[in-house]
């Protein structure tokens, strides 16, 4: 075979490889078999008119409180705060902030992001339109109800059995990035500015996620930053509505059960200044006090796997509030590729997690949720 011919073949092969790689990323999440949820009562409606029979499905055998809670001052001193403006500074300030980010990822897996450059208007419009959506009459919202085979729409996540203890929240879920992933049948026409607000907010959070991932790659010594930034190529939004709960049951209800995020990187906006989010740090539930305007970032399971456990995906939950409703938006940066520990991080060491295809990863997420087990334990190699 001539050298020219050979190099032409090689080029074709490379093109195929990179198309495969892109193909993998661009697989629509709906086609991955993530499955749907059983229909459950609408919690917002239930909270307005509590019936003991329905309420029973939400009560947990164990109270959610108890144990040692740190004081707010301990928490403020602890939870790292990353200034994105400083992080992007090409000089010394950037290096200092990058070192802070490294510690935040290694020690906490959770941090708040301030000075993220998202215009206040963009944040306020998103908040206003989402609250406006949740205020619509139930009949309007249920026009956007989830279909039985996929998570997108208004409803709840991962309810598999009639026996399962339910979360005290409603969920509205949309695929937002890339634009080709959007299924506009699930996007509301009211409030009329919702679509535009979401478009702007989604683009901005994707930008913030990409910046954070790029610095993480540098901190980890990963030369090809795209190995991490491609996590931000796809994004979906989980919008949560937590109605006030019956005061006498507050200890036996949870807004969201303990879980870690199966995705790559989450950026959470707490729409109302009502606390609720708690993270499990060394066996203690630590409340996250929302800094107004900040985003709460957390490392998801995919980053824990890619970094071979150097960055931890931390378990968290949401507690309920008897007086005030709470609204939040979790922007999940998804990585629709099969995660595996990155070679340059494993080095001469031992990979701690399995290498898995995206289809198998999605199947694993579902079977784990069904069995109430821990995703990362299932990914760990013996």
The four Cα atoms 59, 61, 67, 69 give a dihedral, to 10 degrees, of -10
CA angle in degrees (0–180, nearest 5) for 236-238-240: 165
For ligand OGA, which residue of 212, 256, 303, 314 counts as binding (CB under 6 A)?
A: 256
Judged by CB, which is closer to Ni ion: 169, or 219? 169
The size of the interface with Ni ion (CB under 5 A), counted in residues, is 1
Using CB under 6 A as the binding rule, whether residue 104 contacts ligand OGA is answered as no
Is residue 208 a contact partner of residue 113, using CB atoms and an 8 Å limit? yes
Segment lying near Ni ion (by CB under 5 A), choices 23-31, 151-159, 161-169, 260-268: 260-268
- Residue 378 DSSP one-character state: H
Using CB under 5 A as the binding rule, whether residue 261 contacts Ni ion is answered as yes
- Report the distance separating Cα 107 and Cα 103, nearest Å: 6
**If contact means CB under 5 to 8 A according to the sort of partner, which of ligand OGA, Ni ion, none does residue 277 touch?**
ligand OGA
| Shortest CB 256 distance to ligand OGA, Å | 5
| Shortest CB 158 distance to ligand OGA, Å | 11
Segment lying near Ni ion (by CB under 5 A), choices 121-129, 258-266, 275-283, 344-352: 258-266
Using CB under 6 A as the binding rule, whether residue 318 contacts ligand OGA is answered as yes
For residues 263-282, which are near ligand OGA according to CB under 6 A?
268, 276-277
- Report the distance separating Cα 230 and Cα 235, nearest Å: 11
Output the CA–CA distances (angstroms, integers) from residue 179 to 117, 121, 259, in the order listed: 22, 22, 28
User: At residue 220, what are phi and psi to the nearest 5 degrees?
Assistant: -90, -5
**If contact means CB under 5 to 8 A according to the sort of partner, which of ligand OGA, Ni ion, none does residue 238 touch?**
ligand OGA
For ligand OGA, which residue of 182, 200, 211, 238 counts as binding (CB under 6 A)?
A: 238
Is residue 302 a contact partner of residue 379, using CB atoms and an 8 Å limit? no
CB atoms within 10 A of CB 77: 9
Judged by CB, which is closer to ligand OGA: 41, or 287? 287
Is residue 153 a contact partner of residue 39, using CB atoms and an 8 Å limit? no
Using CB under 5 A as the binding rule, whether residue 304 contacts Ni ion is answered as no
Is residue 42 a contact partner of residue 156, using CB atoms and an 8 Å limit? no
Closest-approach residue to Ni ion (CB): 261
CA angle in degrees (0–180, nearest 5) for 120-124-127: 145
The size of the interface with ligand OGA (CB under 6 A), counted in residues, is 11
Is residue 283 a contact partner of residue 315, using CB atoms and an 8 Å limit? no
Using CB under 5 A as the binding rule, whether residue 301 contacts Ni ion is answered as no
For residues 288-317, which are near ligand OGA according to CB under 6 A?
316
Binding stretches for Ni ion (CB under 5 A) = 261
Binding stretches for ligand OGA (CB under 6 A) = 238, 240, 256, 261, 268, 276-277, 316, 318, 328, 330
């Amino acid at each position: 075979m001539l050298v020219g011919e050979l190099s032409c073949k090689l080029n074709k092969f490379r093109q195929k490889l990179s198309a495969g790689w892109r193909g993998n990323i661009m697989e629509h999440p709906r086609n991955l078999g993530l499955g749907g949820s059983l229909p459950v009562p609408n919690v917002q409606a239930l909270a307005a008119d509590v019936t003991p029979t329905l309420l029973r499905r939400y009560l947990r055998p164990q109270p959610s409180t108890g144990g040692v809670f740190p004081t707010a001052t301990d928490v403020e001193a602890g939870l790292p705060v990353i200034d994105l403006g400083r992080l992007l500074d090409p000089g010394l300030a950037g290096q200092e902030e990058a070192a802070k980010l490294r510690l935040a990822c290694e020690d906490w897996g959770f941090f708040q992001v301030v000075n993220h450059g998202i215009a206040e208007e963009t944040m306020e419009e998103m908040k206003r339109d989402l609250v406006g959506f949740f205020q619509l009459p139930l009949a309007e919202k249920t026009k956007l109800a989830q279909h039985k085979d996929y998570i997108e729409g208004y409803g709840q996540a991962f309810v598999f059995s009639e026996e399962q203890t339910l979360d005290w929240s409603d969920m509205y879920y949309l695929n937002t990035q890339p634009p080709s992933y959007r299924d506009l049948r699930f996007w509301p026409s009211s409030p009329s500015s919702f679509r535009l607000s979401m478009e702007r907010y989604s683009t901005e959070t994707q930008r913030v996620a990409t910046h954070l991932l790029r610095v993480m790659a540098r901190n980890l010594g990963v030369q090809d930053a795209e190995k991490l930034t491609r996590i931000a190529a796809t994004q979906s939004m989980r919008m949560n509505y937590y109605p006030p709960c019956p005061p006498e049951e507050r200890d036996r209800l949870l807004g969201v059960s303990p879980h870690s995020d199966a995705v790559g990187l989450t950026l959470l906006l707490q729409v109302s200044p009502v606390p609720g989010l708690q993270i499990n740090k060394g066996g203690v539930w630590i409340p996250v006090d929302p800094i107004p305007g900040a985003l709460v970032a957390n490392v998801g399971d995919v980053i824990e796997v890619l970094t071979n456990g150097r960055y931890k995906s931390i378990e968290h939950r949401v507690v309920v509030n008897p007086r005030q409703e709470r609204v939040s938006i979790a922007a999940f940066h998804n990585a629709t590729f099969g995660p595996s520990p990155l070679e340059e991080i494993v080095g001469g060491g031992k990979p701690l997690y399995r290498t898995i295809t995206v289809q198998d990863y999605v199947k694993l997420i579902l079977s784990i949720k069904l069995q109430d087990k821990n995703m990362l334990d299932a990914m760990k190699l013996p």
